[in-house]
Amino acid sequence: MNTSLNFAYYPGCSSTGTSIEYDMSSRAICEALGIKLTDVPDWNCCGSTPAHTVDHSLSSALSARNLDHVASMGLDSCVTPCPSCLANLKTASHRMEDEGFRNKVNKLLDKPANTDVETKSVLQILVEDYGIENIQKKVVKPLTGLVVGAYYGCILNRPPELMQFDDREHPMAMDNIMEALGATVVPFPLKVECCGASFGIPRKDVVMRLSGKLLDTAEEIGAMALVTACPLCQMNLDMRQNQINNANGTNHNMPIFYFTQLLGLALGLTEKELGMNKLCVSPRTLLDAMANGEILKEKAA
Amino acid sequence: MKIGVFVCHCGSNIEATVDTAAVAAAAREFPGVVFATDTMYTCSEPGQDEIVDAIKEHNLGGVVVASCTPRMHEQTFRRTVERAGLNKYLFEMANIREHVSWIGKDREANTNKSVDLVRMATEKLMRNTALQSKKFDINKRVLVIGGGVAGIQAALDCADGGLEVVMVEKTSTIGGKMAKLDKTFPTVDCSSCILGPRMVDVAQHPNITLYAYSEIEEINGYVGNFEIKVKKKATYVDWKNCTGCGICMDKCPSKKARDTFNEEIDFTKAINIPFPQAIPKKAKIDPEFCTMLKKGKCGVCAKVCPSGCIDFEMKDEFVTEKVGAIVTATGFDLFDWTVYGEYGGGRYPDVITSLQYERMLSASGPTGGHIKRPSDGKEPKDVVFIQCVGSRDKSVGRPYCTGFCCMYTAKQAILTKDHLPESQSYVFYMDIRATGKLYDEFTRRAMEEYDTNYIRGRVSMIYPKGDKLLVRGADTLMGTQVEVDADLVVLAVGAEASVGASELAEKLRISYDSYGFYMEGHPKLKPVETNTAGVYLAGACQGPKDIPSSVAQGSAAAAKVLGLFSKDQLESDPQVSIVDIKRCIGCGKCIQTCPFGAIKEIDFRGMAKADVIETICQGCGICTSTCPQGAVQLQHATDNQILSEVNALCQF
């Protein structure tokens, strides 16, 4: 384990709203593990999906400004919980290597941006910099009995040339972490499928179909819950679960955790610190059953 | 020396960007040049006649042709000057096509560079001497490496032509990939019924010596006189007495040995004969799985063998064979498809390769010809075939088309319906490539008569859904997504160079491409030759090929060998190193650096001297640059000749 893990932290817009519990739990587990996160000062939106659909240089300008702030902090790596922010920041760094493109972007900014910064996801630093075996050493409340599927979504590892983390078709980072925490991980065959993403707004039916399939499959393979690493995936599966049930005539009641929340539980952090109460599908019954060992009894029976 | 210079237009290939008339005019001013002209096609009959006439008319002592690469026409023009009575080494070529006209568009610069190249050629020519070839005897035996259908064809053709043939096969039986196939396209006849008798012919032919379960350890020598060291791998069974009765295999308690012949869809015994029609039909022990060889306990096979053949002490054995020519027919191997994570990367048992499916279809295969899902042994109803797995896909480093998968997929779809009339087959394809006699008709039959559902598009994902596999892909003709609930998925895995192809190429001193396939002598005109004299290619070692093409190449290679051996003696190339014994100090550095072992030390009046064995020397010139005394000189590329070219170029 690297003794001095020190990163700039880019929360991203959703961390201030829909995925506040992802932000809370990410910060809480990093603190518990001794990973130092310092917020990027005066950060702005990465541009999300709309910016790069309209204009690549504009999108990169937004991200470049953030990266420049990281560089001026004297740090060379930045971590973000959100895969979409991650993709935008990494894309900007990559595109800015081209001189013509860099000039175009720099024209849009107050001053030329230094984008020589490596961006990683929270998941990636846990696996690559901290190490799963070191996480395992810190587990005080193992997730014994919990049967969970890991859902990565479509952009966390893609495009592979850019993201350079885990397997693009069969990622195992979250599966391995959950296993290290004592949970039973069922192989989730749709782990890199799309949830419908931002189609939730213009074409809700697409999300109902795609996210519905994810929930159906999770149920079929006997998962009690899914863990995610993406605010948008989590929102589609969690917040829209009722809509999906209504649209598809299903009756899912499946908690959708951020992996950082379950990791925090295993590290002995409180539900409040991890924002468990912010989830739409209540994990109450499941968490209680885990806490008093009822899951194990049920399984034994 | 009176020199004539001929500057070729090569149609417009050279003339378009080089002023050939100006080059000829410049050449006329060079010392020694008495005649210079430009011609449309120097290599054509009138072009060659012009050279012959000029030699006679102007009493020329040497000729320079400025045209294409010497690899193209050096031999042609050497014959031309010989026809006019000159020694063929009193000829030089200046390459103003590949080195000038094809690579630059600046006519003036190109013309100047061409003048320089012609000046270099004339300066060298003035220092050329007449060289004479020597004749040497050849050994009229041929080595065939690889016992697949291409190697079998080459061996039988050579043997029928009266040559002694040595065949070396690395597995314990000949037959290659074809022996694993159930049926062949487009005739759907039984593969082992056509191949089997040919395999028997190899075993019984009085002119063929077969080393199965053997590999090439070392190759020395040169065309006409190769010396081959063959490693006979330990089989732990005395093949002289083994009758192939198979009792050892029946009784062997080690039942989990890797069954490579059956593509690992089942296990075999630690002592095994790969299949009933194997040639030679002899047992061998796989030491990785033999309890006796691993732990020193068991020995059941030794107890039951009626001929007492089992020898646990057997070691690898080496034999030396002398031959005059080599046919390489080492075939191909299958692409490792598990890099495709979207197809499960090997995690799903019911996603299998086309060759595994072939073994399943075969009546002599592990399932007795019944199609069964590996996971639960059930008969599949919906079978999905995915084409171009490891073909035409740059993302996995395989941009080339394997060429025969479209056909065998159509065949397998047809056979699936024959075996299971209630089944439905789906084929995901990119394009149908069926360019052979009766090939396209065959794929149409699969679609029209056998009701195979051909879907043009790639599969993006396979994942388990209950006990089925959900195959999702695109139908690019309909512009929609397609999902098929499949019971079995068969991947049409592409071909790649066989394991160890590049190592063997280095022993043979032949070239291979970036995928490991062997390079033919010329892509159009020398399809079975290599750049090493006496070494020929047959079958898929040169590139993926179906059976008819492989067989055709086997016969072509045999024809080349028979042609080579139609002479009793070959002419040696006089472009070899020669030691000037007066200057040699006997330091032996050349002996150490020669990669061919062509230099030996001799005793000359009590002094050590180097001596070149002319028939072994390949003319590489390494000794020349090593010799501290300049005592070794490569004929036709002496220090003086090379320096004269340098001086001609660096005049200013």
Phi, psi (rounded to 5 degrees) for B230: -105, 130
B29 in helix, strand or coil?
coil
Give A131-139 contacts, CB < 8 A, sequence gap 24+. A131/A1, A132/A176, A132/A177, A132/A180, A133/A180, A134/A1, A134/A33, A135/A33, A135/A177, A135/A180, A135/A181, A135/A263, A136/A180, A136/A181, A138/A32, A138/A33, A138/A267, A139/A180, A139/A181, A139/A182, A139/A266, A139/A267
Grade residue A296 by pLDDT with cuts at 50, 70 and 90: low
Quote the percentage of chain B above a pLDDT of 90. Answer: 96
Cβ-defined contact of A189 to B464 (cutoff 8 Å): yes
CATH 3.50.50.60 fits B141-233+316-331+498-564, yes or no: yes
Which sequence spans correspond to the domains of chain A? 6-122, 132-300
Q: Which residues of B touch A193 (CB under 8 A)?
A: 461
At B425-451, the pLDDT tens digits run 999 999 999 999 999 999 999 999 999
A74 in helix, strand or coil?
coil
In the block, residue with structure tokens 């089992």: B310
Cβ-defined contact of B465 to A189 (cutoff 8 Å): yes
Task: Look at residues B609, B602, B568, B571 and name the one whose alpha carbon lies nearest to residue B587.
Answer: B609
Phi/psi region, residue A249 (left: phi>0; alpha: psi -120 to 50; beta: rest), is left
| A3 pLDDT higher than 60 | no
Residue B472 corresponds to which tokens in the numbers above? 């999702």
Quote the percentage of chain B above a pLDDT of 70. Answer: 100
Angle at A124 between CA A46 and CA A99, to 5 degrees: 45
DSSP letter at B274 equals S
- Using alpha carbons, list the distances in angstroms from residue B484 to B379, B383, B410, B477: 17, 9, 19, 17
B114/B107 Cα distance (integer angstroms): 10
3-state SS, B315-381, equals CCEEEEEEECEEEECCCEEECCHHHCHHHCCCCCCCEEEHHHHHHHHCCCCCCCCCCCCCCCCCCCC
- Residue A181 distance to chain B (closest CA, Å): 24
At B377-422, the pLDDT tens digits run 999 999 999 999 999 999 999 999 999 999 999 999 999 999 999 9
Angle at B473 between CA A241 and CA A251, to 5 degrees: 20
B residues 346..375 contacting A (CB < 8 A): 347
Contact B17, B97 (CB under 8 A): no
List Cβ neighbours of B627 (8 Å cut-off, separation of 6 or more): B589, B590
At B136-183, the pLDDT tens digits run 999 999 999 999 999 999 999 999 999 999 999 999 999 999 999 999
Q: Which residues of A touch B342 (CB under 8 A)?
A: 169
B391/B401 Cα distance (integer angstroms): 5
B394 in helix, strand or coil?
helix
- Which pairing describes strands B468-475 and B480-486: parallel, antiparallel, or unpaired? antiparallel
| B222 pLDDT higher than 90 | no
- Residue B486 distance to chain A (closest CA, Å): 15
pLDDT at A298: 64
- Mutate one of A158, A169, A213 to test the B interface: name it (highest B CB count within 10 A): A169
A13/B426 Cα distance (integer angstroms): 46
Which residues are registered as beta bridge partners of B164? B141
Beta strands in B127-205, from DSSP E residues, in sequence order:
135-137, 141-145, 164-168, 183-184, 189-190
DSSP letter at B27 equals H
Contact B610, B599 (CB under 8 A): yes
Helix axes A259-266, A173-180, angle to 10 degrees: 20
B51/B519 Cα distance (integer angstroms): 34
**H or E element: which one contains A25?**
helix A20-33
B450/B420 Cα distance (integer angstroms): 11
Beta strands in B498-573, from DSSP E residues, in sequence order:
535-537, 569-571
Which sequence spans correspond to the domains of chain B? 3-126, 141-233+316-331+498-564, 247-304, 334-496, 577-635
Which residues are registered as beta bridge partners of B465? B468
B143/B324 Cα distance (integer angstroms): 8
- Common-topology check for domains A6-122 and A132-300: no
Q: What is the mean pLDDT of chain B?
A: 96
CATH architecture for residues B577-635: 2-Layer Sandwich (3.30)
Residue of B nearest to A222 (CA): B466
B543/A275 Cα distance (integer angstroms): 61
| Cα pseudo-dihedral B388, B394, B397, B399, rounded to 10 | 60
List Cβ neighbours of B501 (8 Å cut-off, separation of 6 or more): B330, B512, B516, B517, B518, B541
Residue B592 corresponds to which tokens in the numbers above? 């150490």
**Fold (topology level) of B334-496:** FAD/NAD(P)-binding domain (3.50.50)
pLDDT at B651: 79
| B650 pLDDT higher than 80 | yes
- Residue B342 distance to chain A (closest CA, Å): 6
pLDDT at A1: 47
Chain A, chain B: beta-carbon pairs less than 8 Å apart: 17
A277/A258 Cα distance (integer angstroms): 13
At A239-280, the pLDDT tens digits run 999 999 999 999 999 999 999 999 999 999 999 999 999 999
B185/B195 Cα distance (integer angstroms): 14
**Fold (topology level) of A6-122:** Glutathione S-transferase Yfyf (Class Pi); Chain A, domain 2 (1.20.1050)
Q: What is the mean pLDDT of chain A?
A: 94
- Using alpha carbons, list the distances in angstroms from residue B101 to B10, B38, B95, B144: 10, 15, 9, 42
Residue of A nearest to B470 (CA): A189
Quote the percentage of chain A above a pLDDT of 70. Answer: 97
Helix, strand and coil in chain B, % to nearest 5: 30, 25, 45
At B7-33, the pLDDT tens digits run 999 999 999 999 999 999 999 999 999
B370/B361 Cα distance (integer angstroms): 6
Task: Look at residues B108, B112, B111, B72 and name the one whose alpha carbon lies nearest to residue B93.
Answer: B72
Closest Cβ–Cβ partner in B341, B347, B466 for A168:
B341
> Could you tell me which CATH number the domain at A132-300 has?
3.40.50.11810
Contact A27, A56 (CB under 8 A): no
Helices (H), B383-454: 405-419, 439-448
Task: Look at residues A169, A157, A156, A148 and name the one whose alpha carbon lies nearest to residue A259.
Answer: A148
Contact B512, B541 (CB under 8 A): no
Give B478-486 contacts, CB < 8 A, sequence gap 24+. B482/B455, B482/B457, B484/B382, B484/B384, B484/B426, B485/B382, B486/B350, B486/B380, B486/B382, B486/B383, B486/B384, B486/B426, B486/B462
B342 touches chain A (CB under 8 A): yes
At A153-181, the pLDDT tens digits run 999 999 999 999 999 999 999 999 999 99
Angle at B553 between CA B550 and CA B556, to 5 degrees: 155
Residue of B nearest to A168 (CA): B341
B469/B373 Cα distance (integer angstroms): 12
Predicted model pTM: 0.87
- Using alpha carbons, list the distances in angstroms from residue B75 to B78, B82, B574: 5, 11, 14
| B334 pLDDT higher than 90 | yes
DSSP letter at A290 equals H
B142 in helix, strand or coil?
strand
B318 touches chain A (CB under 8 A): no
State which CATH number among 1.10.3470, 1.10.287, 3.40.50, 3.40.1130 fits the domain covering B3-126.
3.40.50
Grade residue A301 by pLDDT with cuts at 50, 70 and 90: low
Altogether, the residues listed in chain A come to a count of 301
Q: Which residues of B touch A168 (CB under 8 A)?
A: 341
Which residues are registered as beta bridge partners of B311? none
B345 touches chain A (CB under 8 A): yes
Helix axes B45-58, B70-83, angle to 10 degrees: 50
In the block, residue with structure tokens 């064995």: B613
Number of Cβ within 10 Å of residue A205's Cβ equals 10
Closest Cβ–Cβ partner in B345, B464, B466 for A169:
B345
Angle at A155 between CA A150 and CA A157, to 5 degrees: 70
